[in-house]
Chains A and B, each alone.
Chain A
Amino acid sequence: MDRAGDDGTTVRWNGPTGGELRVQADRLFDLVPSAISIQDRNYRIRKVNAAFRRMFGEGVGEYCYSAYKGRSRVCLDCPMARTFADGGVHSSEEVVQTAAGEVLHVTVQTSPILGPDGSVVGGMEVMTDLSGSTAVRQELVLLGQAMAGMAHYIKNLLTGLEGGVYVVEEALEDGDEGLLQEGWEMVRRNVERVARLSRDQLYCSRDRMPEIQLVEVNRLVCQSAELYRARAEREGIGLHVELDERIGAGWLDPEGFDNLLTNLLSNALDACRFDTSKERHWVSVKTLLESGGQLHLEVADNGQGIPEKLCGAVFSEMFTTKGGGGTGLGLLVVYRVVCAHNGRITVMSEDGVGTVFTVILPLAPPGERSMNVTVE
């Protein structure tokens, strides 16, 4: 049962075990985790809550467009302007800059404050950080692209499997031992591809928690890279591995890290395989110890590159090229591993020139980490 406090400034509820929960009414304003500002009709900030102060500084007396965005004029399409015009509640998505210089993607809701005569005398602006949902949106984009790439892999897989079954049946009918062997190989090879796809999908569906352990970082990198040496040689692509000796042991999830590196390497080799503009191709893997103690891992190639408009959309073109047995989930797996380590990944690429993936991973024990995940 809700009860207003006897003195009008305290709000009291019965607690679940019979005791009382009391909050000073104006404390509620400061408890809200979204940044709130109260503005007058001139967009001047009159009152702010604690969350606002944390994000934007004091703010009272400033114009809202200055405090939130460093502007000197009311923003075009300002939801508060619409609230002032029609007395209704409005919302928008905005990009703002905090006092610390951080750029945030936020959702803004504005509602009117009415005077005694019912006219709009001011407004309340509530701003909520969307970065949690931005990450979700990014994942959805990657997942969509992964699905498109998977379709290609699955079609080849099905062709091989259906083909194998057909060949086996014909061979049995004809009593052709040689043909039977061929057909069976087809079936076996493609069953393996099914297994690979399932493993990638399981990894992506988060069945697995990262197991961060103390590992010899360079050795891990070496092991994964060497697995690709044979393939690189077969395809006439140079594989260069450069390890920073200063990196010793670090805290990583070895299975996740291996997945990350093998996917980046596989993609790099594919990019070379599909590039027609150069005679000689190479893939390089480099480790560097960053000044903050993090691992700087670079996988670069001089393959076909990613067209500029797609770099922003993150990794999409790679999914639609065939070859290398890529399941299409590769870069989604890479992204997930980076997230699981609280790391960072950037991609630089030029169509026809090549691509560089840079991954920064903390090497400190979990619990001592403080990096946020970003994809650029």
Chain B
Amino acid sequence: MGATILVVDDEQDVRTYLRTLLTKQGYEVVAAADGEEGLEVARARRPDLVFLDIMMPRKTGIMLYRRLKKDPDLGGVPVVILTGLSQYRTFFAQDFEEVPRPEAFVEKPPNREELLRLVEELVSTPAGG
């Protein structure tokens, strides 16, 4: 079976875009529109990879990131941060001193080939999967 990818972004267009792109590649995609929903879905579905929009209203993106990284079950799930801010890498350090850094940053709009290569790299499929 393909791996499960969770896409968390408050922009509907981003969710549709990534869902279509990743489904085509054989992945199973689940989506959430904010951090709270994202956490629920993550706990229920145990994704193999999370795409997370860090700039969402009421800081729910930042909240979700922290919860994921500190969670005993989900802490090992690779997280790719989606951002429209090219300087975000520098801002990031201030928000996340006490948690591990994300596996990758992807700037919007994403380059499709690069994004898919990144997903392949980060998603570890169980032997025989």
Report A's interface with B, CB cutoff 8 A: 151-152, 155-156, 158-160, 162-164, 166-167, 170, 179, 182-183, 186, 189-190, 273-276, 320-323
Contacts and interface: CB of A to CB of B under 8 A. Distances in A.
15 contacts: A155-B107, A155-B108, A155-B109, A156-B11, A159-B13, A159-B17, A160-B11, A164-B17, A167-B20, A183-B16, A190-B13, A273-B58, A274-B57, A322-B55, A322-B84
Contacts of B13: 156, 159-160, 163-164, 186, 189-190
B116 interface: no
A124 B29 CA distance: 77
A186 B24 contact: no
Nearest to A321: B55
A162 B58 contact: no
B43 interface: no
B110 interface: yes
B14 to A, nearest CB: 6
Interface string B10-23: 11011011101100
A357 to B, nearest CB: 21
B85 interface: yes
Nearest to A324: B57
B85 A152 contact: yes
B112 interface: yes
B84 A163 contact: no
Contact of B84 (A156, A167, A179, A189): A156
Given A152-B84, A155-B109, A158-B108, A179 B14 contact: no
B82 to A, nearest CB: 9
Interface string B83-96: 01110000000000
Most buried by A among B13, B14, B20, B58: B13
A216 B126 CA distance: 70
Nearest to B55: A322
B42 to A, nearest CB: 20
A228 to B, nearest CB: 16
Contacts of A170: 20, 24
A166 B59 contact: no
Contacts of A160: 11, 13-14, 17
A163 B15 CA distance: 10
Contacts of B18: 163
A183 B17 CA distance: 8
Interface in B13-71: 13-14, 16-18, 20-21, 24, 55-59
B16 A163 contact: yes
B16 A186 contact: yes
A160 B15 CA distance: 10
B109 A323 contact: no
Nearest to A274: B57
Contacts of B59: 274, 276
Given A155-B84, A321-B55, A322-B84, A179 B11 contact: no
A156 B59 CA distance: 18
A186 B11 CA distance: 11
B20 A159 contact: no
A170 B18 CA distance: 13
B58 A156 contact: no
B23 to A, nearest CB: 9
A72 B11 CA distance: 62
A40 B16 CA distance: 77
Interface centre among A163, A189, A322 (most CB of B within 10 A): A163
Given A155-B107, A163-B14, A167-B16, A275 B85 contact: no
B32 to A, nearest CB: 17
Nearest to A173: B24
The 8 closest A-B pairs by CB, nearest first: A163-B17, A160-B13, A159-B109, A155-B84, A158-B109, A159-B108, A155-B108, A273-B57
B15 to A, nearest CB: 10
A183 B11 CA distance: 14
A183 B10 CA distance: 17
B67 to A, nearest CB: 15
Nearest to A190: B13
Contact of B21 (A166, A275, A321): A166
A327 to B, nearest CB: 13
A163 B55 CA distance: 19
